[in-house]
Structure 1
Amino acid sequence: MKIERIMPLVYTYIVFVLVPLILNQVYVNANYGLQCIQCDNDHRERFCRESIGTDDNGHGSFTAFTVTLNRNSVKWLHGEIVKYTRVLTNIGNTYNTHTGIFTVKTDGVYAVSAAMIGGPGQITHYSIRKNNHVMVWLFTGAKFDIAAQTINLALRKGDRLWIVLEGCAVLITHVVHPYHQFSAVLVKPGKF
């Protein structure tokens, strides 16, 4: 075959087969973070960070945690922060079991939930606080009532959330199942 006849075929193959395949792979990589495209290191690292949702330090920006209790009895005093010690999930390492405080590292909308049970013959009263401002209350009656709240909050990096016992001191014994829980998950990153 002569080169004049081959070149249009090569051109057609490149334009209609190879280019769509390459563009499709770049689209898949950009939207699903499957793998990095091959280019120089600076562009590839930046592209990888953007496609898999990481910050400039290469750490994941996604946050999700759920914590409960891991003791058979608990005692809290009025005004005390409830410290959950059994970690089911702590993606992003944003919940501190020693302080009981969740510290936001990524701006965005978060779904926050809490649940708790009252003790025998005790009325309990809790609040979810953001930077020491009450967001919602939880109240349980005296017969092992359970209270729960789920709220959506627009949070900024550095905001802190925790749960406080607002009422009288509480002593709950024989907590075999994790009735108490505190959770948050980043629903959508960004400033709102």
Structure 2
Amino acid sequence: MIILNTRFVRYTRALVMFLIALIFLIPLVTADSTQPSLQDVIERLMVVENRLKESEELIKKQEIRINNQDVQINNQQLKINALVEEVAGLKAVIGTNRIKLTSNNREIKGLRRQVYVGNEKNGKKKKHLTESRINSFARGNSGISGKFPRQTVGGGIAFTAFLDHDGDYGAGQTITFNKIITNDGNGYNTHTGVFTCPEEGMYLFTFFVGERGEMDGVTQIWADLVINSNNVIDAFAETRQFQEDAQGGNTVVIRLKLGDSVWVRSRFAGHHIEGDQTRTTSFTGLYLYP
């Protein structure tokens, strides 16, 4: 977009200069009997020069306006990307809830069958398999509140992922930790870099960002932990010398609702993150309690 606009401005500037020069020089060439004096030529050239300066000022203003529009377009694209990530997270939650619903319905059917068999054999209900208890469990399952016993979600929710490559990031860009170490509950998405809460409760999140100086001078990365597009906590790493290593991180314990989205993003444009085999840039989340 910026390259095309720059070429257009150059071609426009050249065309304007040519037309202005042509307008003022034609009378000099076509004059019949009266030859212009040197002073007349100088004055006309000065007029042409002034008009060229005015045209250049106008072109500069147009360039500034185009650049501002490009910045606005980039900001809108970042917002669109964030919304797409949230939609993907909500779709993942819907899929998880469907699996929960199917599993719990099967468990309810199994409990009902046990009650039936027990009644047939003993002529009475067993205390730990009463019909009222089963109905209560079924009513709780119909709401999908996320408060089922821990064994119904596979034993827990926890993830750790790291970045396996260096990267340059723009302002507000999501850092996608692409290598999984742990992902119990399948809440973290390596394609979007977003963790989507599969169960309401208290969670712990921690993240680290690494930096290595490629030359003398300041090199830095500033990252934010974001929940539903709200900045919660920050971390940064900064180096000032060639091959100097730095790592920054932070931790937060916070309550999430079902479907909440959590990710890490770069605060400013032009920042660099060290990844590769050092594994100094990572993201971890853990379910603590309801």
Normalised TM-score (structure 2)? 0.45
Per-residue deviation, 1:113 = 0.4
* Aligned partners of 1:125 and 1:167 also within 8 Å: yes
1:53 to 139, 148, 151: 151
Aligned partner letter, 1:77: G
Cross-structure match for 2:233 = 136
One-letter amino acid matched to 2:285: A
The alignment-based identity, stated in percent, is 22
Per-residue displacement from partner, 1:73-95 (whole Å, max 9, x unpaired)? 22222211000110000001011
Aligned match of 1:103: 196
Deviations 1:46-67 (A, max 9, x none): 79x966531xxxx437210000
**Cα RMSD between the aligned structures?**
2.7
Greater share of helix: 2
* Aligned residue in 1 for 2:250: 149
Taking the aligned partners of 1:173 and 1:180, their CA distance within structure 2 comes to 7
Cα distance change on mapping 1:139 and 1:51 into 2, 3 Å: closer
Match of 1:64 in 2: 158
CA separation in 1, counterparts of 2:169 and 2:227? 20
State the secondary structure of the residue aligned to 1:176. Answer: helix
- Cα distance between partner residues in 2 of 1:176 and 1:144: 14
Of 124, 127, 138, 2:224 maps to 127
Q: Does the C-alpha gap of structure 1 residues 51 and 108 become closer, same or farther in structure 2, counting only changes over 3 Å?
A: closer
TM-aligned CA deviation for residue 127 of structure 1: 0.4
CA distance in 1, matches of 2:223, 2:190: 18
Greater strand content: 1
Query: 1:124 Cα shift?
Result: 1.3
Equivalent residue for 1:163? 264
Shift of 1:41: 3.7
Contiguous gaps of at least 5 residues in structure 2: 1-106, 116-128, 142-147
Matched with 1:86 is 179
| Deviations, residues 79-114 of structure 1 (Å, cap 9, x unaligned) | 110001100000010111111100001000001000
CA distance in 1 between counterparts of 2:235 and 2:205 reads 13
Q: Is the 8 A contact 1:113 1:150 kept in 2?
A: yes
Distance 1:84 1:39, change over 3 A: closer
- Partners of 1:172 and 1:125 lie apart in 2 by 9
| Structure number with bigger Rg | 2
For residues 25-44 of structure 1, the C-alpha deviation after alignment (integer angstroms, 9 at most, x for no partner) is xxxxxxxxxxx9x9654677
Equivalent residues of 1:112, 1:185 under 8 A apart: yes
